[in-house]
Amino acid sequence: MRHFIVVAILIILSSFLVYAGISAAHLLPIEASLQSIPIDWLFRIEFVAISFLFSLIFVPLVYSLIVFRRRSGDTSDGQHIEGDTRLEILWTVIPLFTVMGLAYIGAQNLSAIRRVDPDAMEAKVTAFQWAWKFDYPNSGVSSNELHLVVDRQVDLSMTSSDVIHSFWVPEFRVKQDLVPGIVTDYRITPNLIGNYKVRCAEMCGTSHAYMEAPVIVQSQADFDAWIKTQQEANAAAEASGIPDASRGQRIYETSGCRACHSIDGSPLVGPTWKGLWGSEVMLEDGGTIKADEKYITESIKNPAAKIVKGFAPGMPQFNFTDLQIADLVEYIKTLK
Q: Where in the sequence is the domain holding 316, given as residue range(s)?
A: 241-333
Identify whether the C-beta of residue 267 lies closer than 8 Å to the C-beta of residue 295.
Answer: no
Positions in the chain short of pLDDT 70: none
The CA–CA distances, whole Å, from 78 to 75, 268, 317, 332 equal: 9, 68, 75, 83
Amino acid 155: pLDDT: 93
36 and 136 co-located in one domain = no
256 and 276 co-located in one domain = yes
Give the integer Cα–Cα distance in Å for 4 and 11: 10
212 and 247 co-located in one domain = no
Amino acid 330: pLDDT: 86
Residue 156 belongs to a domain = yes
What CATH number is associated with residue 247?
1.10.760.10
Amino acid 137: pLDDT: 87
Identify whether the C-beta of residue 185 lies closer than 8 Å to the C-beta of residue 117.
Answer: no
3-state secondary structure of 175: strand
203 and 145 co-located in one domain = yes
Amino acid 311: pLDDT: 84
Nearest-5° Cα angle at 114, 111 to 115: 85
Do strands 131-136 and 175-178 pair parallel, antiparallel, or not at all (unpaired)? unpaired
169 and 263 co-located in one domain = no
Domain count, the chain: 3
Give the integer Cα–Cα distance in Å for 190 and 317: 32
Amino acid 244: pLDDT: 81
206 and 223 co-located in one domain = yes
Residue 306: how many other CB atoms lie within 10 Å: 15
268 and 206 co-located in one domain = no
Amino acid 26: pLDDT: 86
216 and 133 co-located in one domain = yes
138 and 217 co-located in one domain = yes
Residue 70 belongs to a domain = no
Predicted confidence (pLDDT) per residue in 9-49, tens digit: 999 999 999 999 998 888 889 999 999 998 999 899 989 99
Residue 87 belongs to a domain = no
Rounded to 5, what percent of the chain is helix, strand, coil?
Answer: 45, 20, 35
Residue 193 belongs to a domain = yes
Counting beta carbons within 10 angstroms of the beta carbon of residue 58, is it exposed (0 to 12), middle (13 to 18) or buried (19 or more)?
Answer: middle
Amino acid 54: pLDDT: 94
Predicted confidence (pLDDT) per residue in 209-263, tens digit: 888 999 999 999 999 999 998 888 877 777 777 788 888 887 887 777 877 888 8
261 and 321 co-located in one domain = yes
Amino acid 207: pLDDT: 81
Residue 275 belongs to a domain = yes
Amino acid 304: pLDDT: 82
188 and 288 co-located in one domain = no
Residue 324 belongs to a domain = yes
Amino acid 283: pLDDT: 87
161 and 99 co-located in one domain = no
Q: Could you tell me the pTM of the whole model?
A: 0.74
